[in-house]
Amino acid sequence: MLKVYYIMHSCFLVELDDRYLLFDYFDKGVVKDVVDFKGGLPELDPEKYLYVFASHSHKDHWWLENLRWADSRSNIHYILSKDIRLGRNYLTRNGFNLSIKEKITFVAPLKKYHVDDMTIETLRSTDAGVAFVINVNGLNIYHAGDLNWWNAEGRGELYGEVYGREYKRALRPIANRHFDLGFVVLDSRMGEDGYFVGMEHFIKNIECDTIFPMHMWGEYQWIERFKGRPGIANLKDKVVDIDRENIVYDIY
């Protein structure tokens, strides 16, 4: 079994036969002034292990309250970027027992970790935190977090070139890898001339069977716009169509 649940923004739940992988879940209320997300977690099988990933500390990728799931679920582990600060005083002040840290693996950029039977590698982000490269049950999964070719409209050509060099450099460690699933940024805020560059570089240079666009702030029409770009006609079927939150994709 391989199912992917699109929840919202950069948050996806990957369901395998024996576990769940949850990426970048956050409180949708914190961005309600920007977009009114409707996404939410589906009912989870309590017998399946839950691994919770957070790529960095931005409020649209991480929510402290996620840690409270450990109160009612023993089969849970958190893989959190080290920029998510969870000091003793902070945890105590927010009502957490310090034993929660036993269920957390903090990760830094350009490192490799073994969590149970999973191998987790990290890439350096062009914004904050890390991107995740995960091998689990014979599958290779990539989740970008905020690793992207940030080419914001109006910031000038040099700005885009600098981020382009950093983006390409960040992806070099996976240049010759094959991925079954990729979750890749397609951010409409970059404007007509810049929204596509990170995704286009990824799809042309990284071998990946199925690519889910993310970080779209609810602007799903940009997926079809991207798929209509010249030069990717033979690659566009790799990109999954998303038009709303709470969609379940049966990969196999």
- For position 7, which CATH number holds? 3.60.15.10
Q: Return the pLDDT at 105.
A: 98
Cα gap 252→8, rounded to integer Å: 22
The number of distinct structural domains making up the chain is 1
CA distance 108 to 55: 10
Instruction: Please tell me the predicted confidence (pLDDT) of residue 228.
Output: 92
* pLDDT value of residue 191: 83
Helix (H, G, I), strand (E, B) or coil at 180: strand
Report residue 109: phi and psi, to 5°: -65, 145
How far the first Cα of the chain sits from its last, in Å, is: 6
pLDDT of residue 89: 97
User: The domain containing residue 92 runs over which residues?
Assistant: 2-250
Residue ranges, the chain, pLDDT below 70 = 152-160
> What does DSSP say about strands 247-250 and 2-8: parallel, antiparallel, or unpaired?
antiparallel
**Rounded Cα gap, residues 71 and 43, in angstroms:** 17
Interatomic CA distance for residues 176 and 189, integer angstroms: 30
Quote the pLDDT of residue 223. 95
Relative to beta strand 11-16, strand 2-8 is antiparallel
Tell me the pTM: 0.96
- Between the alpha carbon of residue 153 and those of residues 38, 82, 126, 228, the distances in Å are 28, 30, 17, 20
Mean pLDDT (the chain, rounded): 94
d(CA 24, CA 11): 5
pLDDT at 233: 86
Tell me how crowded residue 112 is: count the other CB atoms within 10 A of its CB.
10
